[in-house]
Amino acid sequence: MFHDQLYNYSRPRPIRPGPRWMRFLCVVLGTGWPLTVGAQGTVTLPELTVYSPRVANQSPAGAFAMTVSALRFEPRVDIQGRNLAEGQADITIRGGIFENTGFQLGAVTILDPQTGHYLAELPVAPVFLGAPKVVTGADLALGAANATVGALAYEWRPVRTAGAAAVSVGENNLRRAEIYQGFSGGPAAAPRGVGVDVALAQSASDGAVAFGEHEFKRANLRLQLSAKTTQTDFFAGYQDKQFGWPNLYTPFNSNETEKIETALFVVNHRVDLGAGDRLEAAVFHRRNKDDYAFNRFAAVGPVHPFQHTTWLRGGSVNGHRTMGGLGLDFRGEVLADQINSTSLTAGRYRTRTLTKLALRGAKEWTPAAGGRALVRAGLTHDDTNRDGGKFSPVLEIARELTSPGLRRIYASYTETSQVPTYTALNSNATAGLFRGNPNLGRAASHNLEAGVAGAWSGWTTEAAVFYRRDVALVDWTFRRGVVARTANPVDLNVAGFECVARRTWSACEVVVGYTTLHKAADYRGAVVDASFYALNYARHRLTAAFLVRLGHGFELRIDNAARMQADNLLRIVGGDDALLSAVGLSFRPAAVRGLEFSVQADNLWNSAYQEVPAVPASPRQVSVTASFAW
pLDDT in tens, 263-293: 999 999 999 999 899 999 999 999 999 999 9
Model pLDDT for residues 545-584, shown as the tens digit of each residue: 999 999 999 999 999 999 999 999 999 888 899 999 999 9
Model pLDDT for residues 201-239, shown as the tens digit of each residue: 999 999 999 999 999 999 999 999 999 999 999 999 999
Model pLDDT for residues 54-79, shown as the tens digit of each residue: 999 999 999 999 999 989 999 999 99
Range of the domain at 172: 2-629
Residue 545 in contact with residue 581, Cβ under 8 Å?
A: no
Residue 291 in contact with residue 304, Cβ under 8 Å?
A: yes
pLDDT of 53: 86
pLDDT band of 52, cuts 50, 70, 90: confident
Q: How far apart are CA 266 and CA 208, in angstroms?
A: 36
Model pLDDT for residues 420-477, shown as the tens digit of each residue: 999 999 999 998 889 999 999 999 999 999 999 999 999 999 999 999 999 999 999 9
> In sequence order, what are the residues at sequence separation of 6 or more whose Cβ sits closer than 8 angstroms to the Cβ of residue 438?
346, 347, 348, 425, 426, 429
Number of domains the chain is built from? 1
> Is it the case that residue 340 has pLDDT exceeding 60?
yes
CA dihedral over 71, 73, 78, 80, signed as positive or negative: positive
Average pLDDT, the chain: 90
pLDDT band of 252, cuts 50, 70, 90: confident
> In sequence order, what are the residues at sequence separation of 6 or more whose Cβ sits closer than 8 angstroms to the Cβ of residue 3?
50, 51, 58, 59, 65, 126, 127, 164
Tell which phi-psi region holds residue 324, choosing left (phi > 0), alpha (psi between -120 and 50) or beta.
left
pLDDT of 4: 52
Model pLDDT for residues 163-206, shown as the tens digit of each residue: 999 999 999 999 999 999 999 985 554 556 899 999 999 999 99
As a whole number, mean pLDDT of residues 340-366 equals 96
Query: What is the number of residues in the chain?
Result: 630
Task: Indicate the pairing of strand 150-154 with strand 101-105.
Answer: parallel
> In sequence order, what are the residues at sequence separation of 6 or more whose Cβ sits closer than 8 angstroms to the Cβ of residue 600?
1, 57, 59, 60, 61, 582, 583, 584, 585, 622, 623, 624, 625
pLDDT of 384: 98
pLDDT of 577: 95
Model pLDDT for residues 75-125, shown as the tens digit of each residue: 999 999 999 999 999 999 999 999 999 999 999 999 999 999 999 999 999
State percent of the chain over pLDDT 70: 90
Residue 357 in contact with residue 332, Cβ under 8 Å?
A: yes
The CATH number of whichever domain residue 475 belongs to comes to 2.40.170.20
Q: Is 19 helix (H, G, I), strand (E, B) or coil?
A: coil
pLDDT of 34: 31
pLDDT band of 251, cuts 50, 70, 90: confident
Buried b (16+ CB within 10 A) or exposed e, 349-372: ebebebbbbbbbbbeeeeeeeeee
